[in-house]
Structure 1
Amino acid sequence: MKKLLTISLLAFTTTGLLAAPDDKPMNVVILYADDWRHDTLGVAGNPVVKTPHIDKLASTGVRFTENCVTTAICGVSRASLFTGQWMSRHGCRDFKAFKTPFAETYPGLLRANGYHVGHVGKWHNGKIPKKEYDFARDYSGKHWYEIDGEKIHVTKRNENDAMEFLSERPEDKPFCLTLAFFATHAEDHHPDQFLPQPHSMKLYQDIEVPVPPNATQESWERLPDFFNEKNEGRNRWGWRFDTPEKFQRMMKNYYRLATEVDEVCGKVVAELEKQGVLDNTLVIFTTDNGYYHAEHGLGDKWYPHQESIRVPLIINDPRMPAEKKGSTNDEFTLNVDLAPTILSATGIKPSQTMQGQDIAPLYLAEKAPEWRSEFFYQHPTLRNAEFIPASEALVRKDYKYFYWPEQKVEQLFHLTTDPIEENDLINDPRHAEVLAEMRQRFAELKAEAQ
């Protein structure tokens, strides 16, 4: 990893990058959605969900089609976003504060270098450190709030607070806003789970949402034997997907929440354009983790399957050459890459403790840099090994190696021929050589993630 980071930075300095439009410091806006997997976008080929504003962002930027998270759960993934570090380094293993000093995060470093820094919406890393921000609004966990006797949806509240930040920011300072939506996260324990706004209910009424091919009882039974009805993923499958009628109702409301987020993303970009700063603002759309839509007989996220770890990433960078706008890139980019990418774009040196790589050479360099071809995935135990067991993986484009440390269970999938991860090859002698090599590389990358 360190070698690749060095190569990547060298490529950035020697292969020729376009200069920034001017010497004015670049602004930053991160549009950060929740429980939203890679294909919940019209531009990604989803046949149901409408996301015209995010699709437009993709048409003027670059969309990374193999972007993944290093841990698929809200709190840990957010800590990785801020710190540029794997869980094993930043130390957040649930929803508490990360151990990395805030001064080493991208918001901390930006503020120390004169930026007006704001956070709106979900924080989920303990109590938000308001003294570290110029503008901080932290709330999540439900879709509807009552403020001053009026009901307001969490996504509308996100919009109002983001607009307040943008309208009241000092004009003589560059700014950074992290807009952390609660949608499309479910309101856990509410019988309806996904509660969109009334104006969205007309959407998707006459559409039949396709059921994934591996959303079957047989797929559930192919999971390791320690997966049982006490598993929280199975429990949440029951909340959302255990009948065809419930699947349709839940998925339509989930997609309605996504379209509401898309509307707000469009309004934020329009406000940047209205203020005349869009051409000097790095705009990023991404999410904290993927989501099972009943695949493998599961709900939510956590485990190393593709549905759980792959998330959208769209970057609009003012430095981007015209021929790259609207393009896609299939390199492995990760959530830990965003902090160093943001800092490098603003001319601020990333903290030496960051483990991610600056993504910009992938779309700015005249010659594509050497890049990672694999990465280490990790997820902690939550509550106990029956509820949410720990999981680890070595992820490549052709193969994926799973390791369940508490049970000492391994799995091996050939993604090229089995993209939905149904056929475990761990005991297939034809793959013994691949397995041995991946076990060794898994151990090496796990050590590097510390």
Structure 2
Amino acid sequence: MKKSVWIALLFLVSLSVFAQETRPNIIFILTDDQRWDALGFAGNPIIQTPEMDRLAIGGTYFENAFVTTPICAASRASILTGLYERTHGYTFGQGNIKQTFMDQSYPAELRKEGYYTGFFGKFGVNYPGFSELFDEGEDYDRNGKFNDRRGYFFKTIGKDTVHLTRYTGQQAIDFIQNAPKEKPFMLSLSFSAPHAHDPASLQYFWSSEFDTMYQKVTVPDPIMATEADFLAQPEYVRKGENRTRWYWRFDTPEKYQHSVTGYYRMISEVDTEIGKIRKALDEKGLAENTVIILMGDNGYFLGERQLAGKWLMYEPSLRVPLIVFDPRKEGGIRNSAFALNIDVTATILDLAGAKVPKTWQGVSLNSPDLSKRKEFLTEHLWQTPIIPPSEALRTERWKYFRYINDPSHEELYDLSVDPLEKNNLADDPAFQTILQELRTRMEKKIAAYLKNR
């Protein structure tokens, strides 16, 4: 009898060890407002991101990664739940996200699968059950009580007040060092950087050791930033928050240089923390079984069309960096398929060997089905006077979008010859058939996602 008990115990222990050895640890890194080309590997000749570049070189870099909604709150809800904003219904001013969606969020599903979970940084979604969602974690963002550098400098390590990026990096290192050995872990890191600190006149803040970076650099003027490019926008865009924040950050050459180099410094600081995190994995002997996913939560205007912020349906607002580094696989892969923020959710479960809920609307980035996606819906549904809500259909060749409160204003771009989206073809008689076809296809997608609510 005793021998049978010992055999049973040894079997259970071996199963636990097997799970840890075969199921990878997963680290998901989300940056705030990092646009797709704010990355050395993407071809940016100025920004220095050696650690992010290393991940891309050794992993899979998704050349056409987009968000399904270009605003942080709704995009983060989509990443958590694997659902379109049209389906989960969450954005600013909507109260708490619905519990039914959070019950099938990726952290909830991973805990069911025996993963040890952690989250540090900007959660960005109103949800009273945060403390029960993860095994350990802390939700924090820029401190809006301060209209100066203290918005980013209010957390401490020991007796030292440090930048939020350094604080988040240290939380990650501590988590890795103390995670239980008998379980694989899933760690979500949500950096507030490089988001500007909106209440502050200087907008961008970084640690002092990054002061000398980009000091001798003159950033080229933004493309498509003429008065004509600005005046081509509807009045509600010209008078909206995209223009207001342009005055905060880019309306003089001096502000533009300060803001863009500050934005780059903040990304480089995140990059440095990624290097420290990878070193901690090496020292713990976990590097060869830890998958790292890196993504931005939405795109960002750096003065294009004399605008700032995100929210609109143009490429700078929608495109984001996306890298999956899996040390168990051959790297150096560039994937040109459309990859979406809602795909990250399915990818995390796929990596864990878990079943993806049927209600989720994304696909794993490792799935051959990804290459079958030839178009996608993207939308910004927040009804606020300062930002016009809009919706778009993006195909491999075309971009069609309209403003929800002004559906008569439509825009159509042939991206194969006009990647900057300069020539709106919506009123051109030669393109009315394609305009109507894209409008119909978009409305069918909208109806399908509404049915899933």
| TM-score clears 0.5 | yes
State the match for 2:193 in structure 1.
Answer: 183
- Identify unmatched segments of 5+ residues in structure 2: 1-17, 143-150
Instruction: Report SS of the residue matched to 2:437.
Output: helix
State the match for 2:148 in structure 1.
Answer: none
Counterpart of 1:312 (choices 321, 329, 333) is 321
Counterpart of 2:174 (choices 164, 169, 191) is 164
- Work out the number of aligned pairs and report it: 420
CA deviation digits over 1:294-341, x for unaligned, max 9? 111111101110000000100012442x3xx11211110100011111
State the match for 1:70 in structure 2.
Answer: 68
State the match for 2:390 in structure 1.
Answer: 391
**1:361 and 2:370 aligned:** no
Instruction: Report SS of the residue matched to 1:123.
Output: coil
CA deviation digits over 1:74-119, x for unaligned, max 9? 1110111111100111121226532243230111110111111000
Give the root-mean-square deviation of aligned CA atoms: 1.8
State the match for 2:404 in structure 1.
Answer: 405
Question: TM-score, normalised to structure 1's length?
Answer: 0.90
State the match for 1:332 in structure 2.
Answer: 338
Please give the residue correspondences for 1:143-158 in structure 2 after superposition, counting only pairs within 5 Å. Answer: 143-147=152-156, 150-158=160-168
State the match for 2:377 in structure 1.
Answer: 376
State percent identity of aligned pairs.
37
1:215 Cα offset (Å): 2.0
The whole-number CA distance in structure 1 between the counterparts of 2:411 and 2:236 is 13
* Alpha-carbon contact 2:237-2:387 (below 8 Å) kept: no
State the match for 1:341 in structure 2.
Answer: 347
Counterpart of 1:198 (choices 197, 205, 208) is 208
The whole-number CA distance in structure 2 between the counterparts of 1:369 and 1:214 is 32
Question: TM-score, normalised to structure 2's length?
Answer: 0.89
State the match for 1:298 in structure 2.
Answer: 307
One-letter amino acid of the structure 1 residue matched with residue 194 of structure 2 = T
**1:274 and 2:283 aligned:** yes
Counterpart of 1:87 (choices 85, 88, 94) is 85
Please give the residue correspondences for 1:116-135 in structure 2 after superposition, counting only pairs within 5 Å. Answer: 116-127=116-127, 129-135=130-136
Instruction: Report SS of the residue matched to 2:372.
Output: coil
Counterpart of 2:225 (choices 215, 219, 224) is 215
One-letter amino acid of the structure 1 residue matched with residue 265 of structure 2 = R
* Alpha-carbon contact 2:20-2:183 (below 8 Å) kept: no
State the match for 1:59 in structure 2.
Answer: 57
The whole-number CA distance in structure 2 between the counterparts of 1:179 and 1:246 is 30
- Identify unmatched segments of 5+ residues in structure 1: 1-19, 363-367
CA deviation digits over 1:153-185, x for unaligned, max 9? 110110111111111111111100000000000
1:293 Cα offset (Å): 0.2
Instruction: Report SS of the residue matched to 2:23.
Output: coil
1:247 Cα offset (Å): 0.3
1:289 Cα offset (Å): 0.3
State the match for 1:351 in structure 2.
Answer: 357
CA deviation digits over 1:425-448, x for unaligned, max 9? 111011112112111111111122
* Alpha-carbon contact 2:313-2:401 (below 8 Å) kept: yes
1:237 Cα offset (Å): 0.4
* Alpha-carbon contact 2:231-2:238 (below 8 Å) kept: no
Instruction: Report SS of the residue matched to 1:432.
Output: helix
Counterpart of 2:39 (choices 24, 38, 41) is 41
* Alpha-carbon contact 2:347-2:364 (below 8 Å) kept: yes
* Alpha-carbon contact 1:331-1:372 (below 8 Å) kept: yes
CA deviation digits over 1:129-171, x for unaligned, max 9? 1012111111112311154764211101101111111111111
One-letter amino acid of the structure 1 residue matched with residue 419 of structure 2 = P
* Alpha-carbon contact 1:290-1:307 (below 8 Å) kept: yes
The whole-number CA distance in structure 1 between the counterparts of 2:20 and 2:384 is 51
The whole-number CA distance in structure 2 between the counterparts of 1:333 and 1:194 is 29
1:221 Cα offset (Å): 0.6
* Alpha-carbon contact 1:21-1:318 (below 8 Å) kept: no
The whole-number CA distance in structure 1 between the counterparts of 2:78 and 2:290 is 22
Moved more, 419-428 or 302-311: 419-428
